[in-house]
Amino acid sequence: MNSDLSNRVALVTGASRGLGAAIAVELGRRGARVAVNYFGSADKAGRVVEEIRAAGGEAAAFGADVRDEAQVARLIADVEGRFGLIDVLVLNATGPQPMIKLDDLTWRACLDQLEFFVKSPVLLVKAVMGQMKRRRFGRIINIGSEVFGRGVPEFSNYVSAKGAQHGLTRSWAMELAPWQITVNTVAPGWIPTERHAGDSQESKDAYAAAVPMRRMGLAQEVAATVAFLASDGAGFLTGQNLAVNGGNTLG
């Protein structure tokens, strides 16, 4: 096991599948004690925990709706009771992401996305920042998306919320910098997860053909970037948007 995150405690929201699961596994492989948050899929979260333990790591699953203030408070208390104070917070959870034409767009549809990408980060960061400030250490990592850099038609509900999430990164990075707490966004390109099972091979091929590296990314490539940001070596890197998308958007 690589041990660059040993003695660190990490909470990854929405880690029962997809990118969150890959991030949790990678942080565990590097020695962090990992809290695997899930919403509905206790069984899948359990399998992620097993994978981390099988590789010699330490992990446990914690069910909570990260949009709910009381559940977030309980989640943080449960994680800290089990593993100790949280050093690394990865804000990854997402619900359904429907594409909606402007004609059909409603405020409710926008709020559905903002609950994941603004409300939940606000609740979680407020719950951990006190102890991070006291200890003068913290790594907050927002999982954003390349869609904000690209702009995508008929998706403004999601694109605008991802833009707002990066706005949190930018402001919080400056606000928390005096305490040596870093806040960054990792913005993946399209990386097929379970949620994309219904998407056609044609649409995936067309996307990949337009990426400068001519391929889609891997969940492990996002996870490795998150693990780097969580490490001691990234201590002077804050307020940034790291696109993991084969050059599809440029900094």
Ligand X SMILES: NC(=O)c1ccc[n+]([C@@H]2O[C@H](COP(=O)([O-])OP(=O)(O)OC[C@H]3O[C@@H](n4cnc5c(N)ncnc54)[C@H](OP(=O)(O)O)[C@@H]3O)[C@@H](O)[C@H]2O)c1
Least spacing, CB of residue 135 vs ligand X, in Å:
26
Q: Structure tokens of 199?
A: 């998407």
DSSP code of 57?
Answer: -
List the one residue from 53, 67, 133, 170 that touches ligand X (CB under 6 A).
Answer: 67
List the one residue from 40, 56, 151, 247 that touches ligand X (CB under 6 A).
Answer: 40
Nearest to 225 by CA among 246, 195, 201: 246
Q: Does the footprint of ligand X cover residue 65 (CB under 6 A)?
A: yes
Query: Residue 101's Cα: distance from chain center in Å?
Result: 26
> What residues contact residue 195 under an 8 Å CB cut-off, 6+ apart?
18, 97
List the one residue from 11, 20, 52, 62 that touches ligand X (CB under 6 A).
Answer: 20
Q: Is 158 one of the annotated active-site residues of the chain?
A: yes
Least spacing, CB of residue 239 vs ligand X, in Å:
19
Nearer to ligand X, 32 or 124 (CB): 124
List the one residue from 29, 148, 188, 238 that touches ligand X (CB under 6 A).
Answer: 188
Nearer to ligand X, 8 or 17 (CB): 17
Question: Which of positions 206-235 make contact with ligand X (CB under 6 A)?
Answer: none
Q: Structure tokens of 220?
A: 């492990």
Euclidean distance between CA atoms 130 and 66, whole angstroms: 19
Task: Report yes or no: 227 and 27 within 8 Å, Cβ to Cβ.
Answer: yes
Beta pairing class for 138-143 and 9-12: unpaired
Question: Which of positions 113-152 make contact with ligand X (CB under 6 A)?
Answer: 143, 145
Write down the catalytic residue from 38, 137, 158, 190: 158
Sign of torsion, CA 60 61 67 68?
negative
Question: Which residues here bind ligand X, judged by CB under 6 A?
Answer: 13-20, 37-41, 44, 65-67, 92-95, 143, 145, 188, 190-191, 193-195
Q: Which residues belong to the active site?
A: 158
